[in-house]
């Protein structure tokens, strides 16, 4: 992680592609664990879903690399929608597509725009899936990440610091889903029996935010 310089003046397409690489690597490595988490309260496919989608997204980006950070995110989001399926495909696809759209045509953006993008993406997820904080979904990692990012930014942290705090918040948020009772997604069918298991989608969300910190040269959340 020492060989990846912090994004200096701003976040560009190369940075987002580095994130995509790191996220894909992390999801590939953690796929079995995510599927394992999706077994007691789901249908045992979250890891293979995410791996399939991100490998396809990386391939799509490599084949025709967009020149803006927003362009890369939109392409990743579209590819997820077209290759993942399940609940996570449209939700993560929307997260990244909305985030990318928020960044518009800019070739380089600062951490504040990244926050706007994340806010737009998370808003899209909430709207599409209808879940709220505490429903034991990916939002329970994404919302704390957004809050932490916003707070760190307001406190004047560097991009790497800002993303590192988002990564720890996401990871804590994911872990904090364990005692929750699911109200959305297929874990909700289990009622009380969903309590005591960490949510797979919150866990993969923490991996994605961790990869963001890692891409910025902060210590990786890849070990979420």
Partner 1 sequence: MKMLINVAETVVADALRGMAAAHPELTVDVERRVIVRRGAPYEGKVGLVSGGGSGHEPLHGGFVGRGMLDAACPGEVFTSPVPDQMVRAAAAVDSGAGVLFVVKNYTGDVLNFDMAAELAEDEGVQVAKVLVNDDVAVVDSLYTAGRRGTGATLFVEKLAGAAADAGAPLDRVAAVARRVNESSRSFGVALSAVTTPAKGTPTFDLPAGELELGIGIHGEPGRERRAMMTSGEIADVVVDAVVEDLRPDGPVIVLVNGMGATPLLELYGFNAEVHRALTERKVPVARTLVGNYVTSLDMAGCSVTICQVDEELLGLWDAPVSTPALRWGC
Ligand X SMILES: Nc1ncnc2c1ncn2[C@@H]1O[C@H](COP(=O)(O)OP(=O)(O)O)[C@@H](O)[C@H]1O
Residues of this chain that bind ligand X (CB under 6 A): 38, 42-43, 45-46, 49, 86-88, 91, 125, 129-131, 137-139, 184-186, 199-202
Count each helix (H run) and each strand (E run) in the chain, helices first. 8, 2
Between CA 40 and CA 203 the distance in angstroms is 15
Q: Which helix or strand (DSSP H or E) is residue 124 part of?
A: helix 111-129
Backbone angles phi, psi at 11, to 5 degrees: -105, 120
CB of 64 to ligand X, least distance (A): 26
Does 191 interact with partner 1 (rule: CB under 8 A)? yes
Between CA 67 and CA 205 the distance in angstroms is 25
Q: Which residue's Cβ lies closest to ligand X?
A: 201
Residue ranges in 89-108 that form contacts with partner 1 under rule CB under 8 A: 89-91
Which one, 86 or 222, has the nearer CB to Mg ion? 86
Residue ranges in 21-50 that form contacts with Mg ion under rule CB under 5 A: 38, 42-43, 45-46
Residue ranges in 21-80 that form contacts with partner 1 under rule CB under 8 A: 35-36, 39-45, 47-49, 52
Between CA 21 and CA 54 the distance in angstroms is 9
């Amino acid at each position: 992680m020492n060989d990846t310089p912090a994004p200096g003046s701003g976040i560009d397409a190369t940075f987002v592609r580095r994130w995509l690489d790191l996220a894909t690597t992390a999801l590939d490595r953690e796929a079995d664990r995510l599927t394992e988490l999706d077994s007691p309260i789901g249908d045992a496919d979250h890891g293979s879903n995410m791996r399939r989608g991100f490998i396809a997204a990386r391939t799509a980006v490599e084949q025709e690399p967009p020149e803006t950070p927003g362009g890369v995110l939109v392409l990743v989001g579209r590819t997820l929608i077209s290759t993942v399926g399940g609940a996570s495909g449209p939700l993560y696809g929307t997260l990244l597509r909305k985030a990318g759209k928020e960044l518009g045509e800019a070739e380089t953006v600062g951490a504040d725009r990244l926050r706007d993008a994340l806010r737009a993406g998370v808003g899209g997820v909430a709207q599409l899936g209808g879940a709220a904080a505490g429903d034991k979904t990916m939002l329970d990692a994404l919302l704390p990440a957004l809050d932490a990012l916003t707070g760190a930014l307001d406190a004047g942290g560097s991009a790497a610091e800002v993303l590192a705090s988002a990564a720890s918040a996401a990871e804590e948020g994911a872990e904090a889903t364990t005692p929750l009772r699911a109200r959305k997604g297929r874990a909700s069918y289990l009622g009380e029996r969903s309590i005591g298991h960490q949510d797979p989608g919150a866990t993969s969300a923490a991996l994605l935010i961790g990869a963001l910190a890692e891409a910025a040269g902060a210590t990786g959340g890849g070990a979420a």
